[in-house]
Amino acid sequence: MMLSSQPKFSVATKMACCRKRNISQVSDFDDMLLEKDEKQLRAMMLKNRFANIIFKSEQQLLGKDFDEQLLMKQKVQLREEIKKAELKKQRQREREAARIAIESIKRTVNFDDGLNAERELLMLIRAA
């Protein structure tokens, strides 16, 4: 297996406020993290769906009696974990959208306008 010497993150150069700055783009590494989160969320949803079967089989393997209250506690805990994972995923999407929006903002104010106006005024005064 051959390892590439290329960096995991690709970087683009954009103009911002008359200076160049580096803005990182979405990388393969970020994609892998998102896929991992989606797989974990799916696993939690499946655990919640089949919680009864999983719990009953665990109880049979351990030789214990079936406890309905313990099953309900586990189901509630799984639902809370799923909600937390979904909220985390939503926050990540919102952050990514905000980052993209900030990067795409076009410059509407030129900070050198006042300086240029002053220079033109001084040139007019000297010419008179």
Q: DSSP secondary structure string, 37-102?
A: HHHHHHHHHHHHHTHHHHHHHHHHHHTPPP-HHHHHHHHHHHHHHHHHHHHHHHHHHHHHHHHHHH
| Structural domain includes residue 84 | yes
pLDDT at 3 over 60: no
Q: Give the count of domains, the chain.
A: 1
What's the pLDDT at 13?
42
* Mean pLDDT for the stretch of residues 32-44: 79
Domain region containing 40: 28-104
d(CA 118, CA 128): 16
Read off the DSSP letter of residue 29. H
**Residue 66 within a domain:** yes
Q: What is the dihedral of CA 50, 43, 97, 28, to 10 degrees?
A: -160
Q: What is the pLDDT of residues 60-115, one digit of tens each?
A: 777 777 677 888 888 899 889 889 989 999 999 999 999 988 888 877 767 777 88
pTM of the model: 0.45
